[in-house]
Structures are given as structure tokens and as C-alpha cells.
Amino acid sequence: MKLLTAAQTRALDQATTQAQRISSVELMERAATACTNWLLDQLQPAFSTEIHVFCGPGNDGGDGLAVARQLHTAGYAPQVWLLPAEKHSADFLHNQQQLPEAIRCQELSARRLPPLPAGALVLDALFGTGLTRTLEGLPATVVKHLNQSAATVVAVDIPSGLLADAPQPASSAIVRAHHTLSFELPKLAFLLPRNAEFVGEWTVLPIGLDQPFIHNTTVDNYFVDAALLAGRLPQRARFSHKGTFGHALLLAGSYGKLGAAVLAAQACLRGGVGLLTIRTPGVGYTILQTAVPEAMALPDPASDFVTELPELHPYAAVGMGPGLGQEESTAEVLRLLLQQVGSRRALVLDADALNLLGTHRELLQKLPPNTLLTPHPKEFERLVGEPALDDYHRLDQLRAFCREHRCYCVLKGAYTALGTPDGPVYFNSTGNPGMATGGSGDVLTGLLLALRADQRLSPLDAALLGVYAHGRAGDLAAAESGEPGLIAGDLVRFIGPALRELEGDL
Ligand SMILES: NC(=O)C1=CN([C@@H]2O[C@H](COP(=O)(O)OP(=O)(O)OC[C@H]3O[C@@H](n4cnc5c(N)ncnc54)[C@H](OP(=O)(O)O)[C@@H]3O)[C@@H](O)[C@H]2O)[C@H](O)CC1
Ligand SMILES: [K+]
């Protein structure tokens, strides 16, 4: 799915009314119907539920008025609260006129704020994507009132006070919704860590907006769902051979951290690699040959760390990082690797390989094009050399980093963000908090290494598929073990089923 800016969303509304020859009031009615149906699904059949609909002066408020009317028709008794304003949108005024007299409709003031007890339902239709500045005065007081209440708050389109696509002061008054109902597409703001407390659970409600317009709109950000990945992972042809799926080299492990190498190796095999060779310190030889008999082991002459780079000739892809440690001799291996890997061999760098890049910054200039890096936010900060001011600044840093180094960078988080050399950022939709556990990143590295070794996949597709399948494996594992009980080894077991879901033209 594409993530449109607020301005693009407005243009999409217009394109839809033109293409479908409907009025904007009809579109608003559709949007309201989608919200009402969602609410009825949640409510039924608690007709006694106390419902308060808070409406602002624009079309978000117009949506709220239409929902109130529809809920009334469905047998509920919503109360409407209006924010006083000098001007109102035409569609707001239209829906205000349509409001049945039986609905209690009152104007808000600092002294007239309704008590909102636990069990009450609040519909936040104060402001939507037309927000132009931070809320102050009465609107901010109302938001504070909603946030202090014990009621369940459902935001129409976006929590009021939150900008859809731009940073805002940390002190901004923003509704903390339990649920957010977004029309047709999610918004960039939903995917950023800082906004989780405002957006709550979010749901996209399709309202039949113009698909050709969406198709032809160029965006900076995508939300990666199964539909976006359809057809990107071909089924294996009967006559395919190990060469098709590539021979990968994994440099991983150090004394006390061989588990990282084992997990990455197992994930690489489950990811479908043709052949896998692992370079570990001598101490890892027996461990790897026992734990991962499907892989070949190439022990380093040193017992505790990787200190020598093997001959790269046989390999289609090289992965380096899990559990390596940050010895100077290992940094030297990374330096040689960057010199020798060439531009045709795929390269995946993670964990200590990234930390070594952060401490040997001159090596950053040697990254071959299409290198795939998988930092978590702290590793990313070390890579770029300065902390991010906020989530949007971090996204800017990600875009700038990928442009400068012509690389792909997987910034790990709740909605893992894949930065690409040409600018677009792809936010992943799969995964769960159970995956915040040791070894989860090592599994991702192994899986990505396998997909980068696969000769059929572009660097972008390998990265998108790997990140999505990793999260999906986490979701399948959590369904079995629960989130707290999930361990990285479970992810390995579910890589196969996750990839199978993506295979072919699902
Ligand atoms: N996406 C869709 O397909 C549909 C969306 N719909 C809904 O429409 C809103 C967007 O409506 P819009 O009228 O553009 O904007 P808002 O309702 O968010 O608010 C605009 C009014 O609010 C004033 N405003 C803006 N910021 C502030 C502020 N900080 N303090 C006070 N007042 C503010 C603004 O006044 P200005 O002075 O800035 O002009 C406007 O009066 C979208 O979110 C959906 O809910 C449609 O229903 C159709 C389908
Ligand atoms: K809202």
C-alpha cells in the first residue's frame, strides 16, 4: 500500500468525486458508513452504551455528524458535542442540517465538558488531515479532557491534533485514541514509534477511493502487505539446481556467541539457500558441525574470533556480523571483505559488522552498491554518527544514508523500515513484540543472506521478502507459543511456512 501525504489525500478525494461523478457529501456518507459499520460490529448489541461524538468544524467533524445520524438510525442514542468555530466546511453544515432533532447536540466550552465515564464510547471527529497547526485554547482543553477520561476513544481518520506526515512539538495536544479508523490507506504517522500512544490499534476502512489516482501517484513511503509482495517470490522450477539458489558464506560467531552463528545459519538454510559455508572461530567448529550439519564449516585459524577472510571466489553472497565481536583483527577482515567482495556479489552486514563500521568510519565509503545493512536504531545511530532528533529526522537520515552509499538499510523496529538507494522507504507490516528477544536479528540476517544469494531475486525484492517473512514467522510462532514464550529458534522453524505463503502468485 502507498502512504499518501495529507495533500495527496486531499487530491485523492477530489479525483474520486470527479472520476465517480459523486458529490463530496456522498463521499463523506461513504466514509461515515464505513465507520458506523465498524462501530456497530464492536458495539452490538449494547444499545445502552453511552456514546459521545466530538465534532470539529471541518470534514472530519462532518464525518462525525454523519456517523451520529447513522448510529441514531441503528437504534443508538449518541450525543453530539460541537467545537465552536468561525467557519465550517460546506459538508459539515450539510450534515448538521441532516441531524435528527432527537439527537442531543451541544456546543463545547471550557466550562461545558461532558463527564466521560468508563464504558462510554467517544468518537473523536475534531480534526482530521486538515490540521494546519498545533491545537491551542479550547480544542487543546477538549483533547486533554478526552485523554483524562476513562472512556474508550475511537478516532475518525486520525487522532485529532496529530499531523499525518510531519513532525510536531513533543508538547502538542493530541488525542490518545484506543482505535483509529483510517480511510482507504494508513498514514505515515501511524508507523512511527513516538505516535503509538496516540494511534492505538488502527484499522483501514476501504471507502472506494479512486484506484487509478493512487496507482499514478508517486510516493516516498510504502506499507508492505501481502498484496505488495504478490508475485515477487517465484515458485521453484522443476529443473532448478543449487546454483540457482546460490552458495552463501556467513562470517559469524566468537567465543561465547556461537549461538548467533547457529541461528543465522539455520535461518539461511530455511530461507532456501543452495549451499552454505560458515566461517567461525576455531572454537565454533564442532558446535556448528553438530548444530547445523547441513552447512559446511570453515574454521578460522584463531580459536576465539574470526581473523582471516576466506577466498571469496565460490560465493554468490556473503553475510557478516552475528556474534562476531569487535576485535581489531575482525575489523581487518571486514576491511578486506569490502575490498574484495566486488559489486556482483551480494553483501549483508549486521550486528558487530555494523558496529565495526561505526568505529572504522572510513570503511563506510567502501560499501559496494546494493549492500544490505540491518541495524537496530542504536546501531543506525552509530552508523550515521549522530542521534536522531525525532522519528521523521531518523527517516531523513535513513534516506540520506541509503542515497549516499547506494545501499539498502533495514532499520529494525515495530514497523521495520527498509531504506533504498533511490529514496522510497518500505514499512513492514508483520511481526510482534514477542520478537524483541535475543537472536531474532541473527535469524533475519541469515534469512536475508539466503534471499540475496537467490539468483532470481532483485536486491529490493530479497530485502522486502526477507523482512516480511521474518515478521510473519514471528506471528506464526507467537500463535503457537504466545509472545512472551517466543524464542529466536521458533522463528527459524516458521521461516518455511512464512515463505510458502508468499510463494507463487498468492
Ligand atoms: N480521506 C477521505 O477520503 C475522506 C476524508 N474525509 C474527512 O475529511 C477530513 C479532512 O477534512 P478537512 O475539512 O480538510 O480538515 P479537518 O476536518 O481536519 O479540519 C479543518 C478545519 O480545522 C481547522 N483547523 C485546522 N487546524 C486547526 C487548529 N490547530 N486549531 C483550530 N482549528 C484548526 C481548519 O481551519 P483553518 O483556519 O486552518 O482553515 C478547518 O476549519 C479527513 O480527515 C476525513 O475525516 C471526508 O469525509 C471524505 C472522505
Ligand atoms: K479525528
pLDDT digits (tens, 9 = 90+) for 244-266: 899 999 999 999 999 999 999 99
Residue range(s) occupied by CATH 3.40.50.10260 in the chain = 2-218
pLDDT score of 422 more than 60: yes
| Pocket of ligand 1 contains residue 28 by CB under 6 Å | yes
- Give the pLDDT confidence of 436-445 residue by residue, as tens digits: 999 999 999 9
Is 131 flagged in the annotation as binding? yes
Average pLDDT over residues 17-22: 97
pLDDT tens readout for residues 27-77? 999 999 999 999 999 987 788 889 999 999 999 999 999 999 999 999 999
Q: At what angle do helices 377-384 and 391-405 cross, to 10 degrees?
A: 60
Ligand 1 center from residue 125 Cα (angstroms) = 9
Q: How confident is the model at residue 242 (pLDDT cuts 50, 70, 90)?
A: confident
Mean pLDDT of 454-458: 95
Q: Which three cell numbers stand for residue 303?
A: 580459536
Q: Is 441 annotated as a binding residue?
A: yes
Angle between helix axes 488-502 and 459-481 (nearest 10 degrees) is 120
Evaluate: CB of 183 within 6 angstroms of ligand 1.
Answer: yes
Q: What integer pLDDT is reported at residue 43 of this predicted model?
A: 84
Percent share of the chain, pLDDT over 70: 99
Q: Is 130 annotated as a binding residue?
A: yes
Provide the pLDDT for residue 114: 96
The pLDDT of residue 506 is above 60: no
Is 135 near ligand 1, meaning CB less than 6 Å away?
yes
Taking CA atoms only, the protein residue closest to ligand 1 atom 25 is: 131
Q: Is 391 annotated as ligand-binding?
A: no
H helices then E strands: how many in the chain? 18, 18
Check pocket membership of 233 for ligand 1, CB cut-off 6 A: no
Separation of 20 CA from ligand 1 center, angstroms?
22
Residue 505 is predicted with a pLDDT of: 52
The ligand 1 atom at the shortest distance from the C-alpha of residue 125 is: 45
Across 318-346, average pLDDT: 97
- Sign, CA dihedral 145-148-153-159, equals positive
Pocket test for ligand 1, best of 132, 142, 205, 207 (most atoms within 8 A of CB): 132
Ligand 1 proximity of 29 Cβ (cutoff 6 Å): no
Q: In angstroms, rounded to a whole number, what is the distance separating the alpha carbons of residues 313 and 322?
A: 22
Cβ pair 296, 278 in contact under 8 A? yes
Going by alpha carbons, the residue nearest to atom 44 of ligand 1 is: 60
Peptide bond connecting 45 to the previous residue in cis, omega within 30 degrees of 0? yes
Q: Verify whether ligand 1 is closer than 6 Å to residue 139 (CB atom).
A: yes
pLDDT tops 90 at residue 396: yes
Fold of the 229-390+436-501 domain: UDP-N-acetylmuramoyl-L-alanine:D-glutamate ligase (3.40.1190)
| pLDDT over 70 (residue 186) | yes
φ/ψ region of 321 (left if φ > 0, alpha if ψ in -120 to 50, else beta) reads left
Sequence-ordered alpha helix ranges (H) in 341-481: 351-359, 377-384, 391-405, 440-453, 459-481
Rounded distance between C-alpha atoms, residue 254 and residue 187, angstroms: 42
Tell me the CA–centroid distance for residue 214 and ligand 1, in Å: 21
> Is the minimum distance from the CB of 64 to ligand 1 under 6 angstroms?
no
Nearest CA to ligand 1 atom 48: 28
Protein residue with its CA nearest to atom 43 in ligand 1? 128
d(CA 200, CA 8): 24
Window from 234-238, 255-259, 427-431 with minimum mean pLDDT? 234-238
**Mean pLDDT across 425-454:** 97
Confirm or reject: Cβ of 59 under 6 Å from ligand 1. yes
CA dist., res. 430 & res. 421, Å (int): 23
Q: How far is the CA of 218 from the centre of ligand 2 (A)?
A: 26
pLDDT digits (tens, 9 = 90+) for 116-146: 999 999 999 999 999 999 999 999 999 999 9
Distance between CA atoms of residues 206 and 213, nearest Å: 15
| Assigned C-alpha cell, 281 | 572461530
Q: What average pLDDT does this structure show over 9-19?
A: 96
- CATH code 3.40.1190.20 region(s) in the chain: 229-390+436-501
Assign domain 2-218 to its CATH superfamily: YjeF N-terminal domain (3.40.50.10260)
Please report which helix (H) or strand (E) contains residue 374, including its range: none
With a cut of 90, say whether residue 410 has pLDDT above it: yes
The DSSP secondary-structure symbol of 112 reads B
pLDDT for residue 239 is more than 90: no
Q: Which amino acid is at 291?
A: A
Ligand nearest to the CA of 125: 2
Q: How far is the CA of 166 from the centre of ligand 2 (A)?
A: 16
CA 14 to centroid of ligand 1, rounded, Å: 14
Answer yes or no: is the C-beta of 133 below 6 A from any ligand 1 atom: yes
Measured between alpha carbons, how far apart are the two ends of the chain, in Å?
A: 16
Show the cell assigned to 65. 455528524
Per-chain mean pLDDT for the chain: 96
Whether 356 contacts 366, CB under 8 Å = no
- Sequence-distant (≥ 6) Cβ neighbours of residue 216 within 8 angstroms: none
* Distance of alpha carbon 258 from alpha carbon 284, whole angstroms: 6
Measured in angstroms, how far is the CA atom of residue 185 from the centroid of ligand 1?
A: 17
C-alpha of residue 151 to centroid of ligand 2, in Å: 16
Task: Spell 72-100 as b/e; 16+ CB within 10 A means b.
Answer: beeebebbbbbbeeeebbebbebbbeeee
pTM for this model (two decimals): 0.96
Q: For a substitution probing ligand 1, which of 16, 131, 185 has the most ligand atoms within 8 Å of its CB?
A: 131
Q: Is the pLDDT of residue 214 over 50?
A: yes
Question: What is the best residue among 88, 127, 174 to mutate for testing ligand 1's pocket, by most ligand atoms within 8 Å of CB?
Answer: 127
Using CA atoms in the order 135, 136, 137, 140, what is the torsion angle rounded to 10 degrees?
A: 50
For residue 46, the tally of other CB atoms under 10 A from its CB is 12
* 319, containing H or E segment: strand 317-320
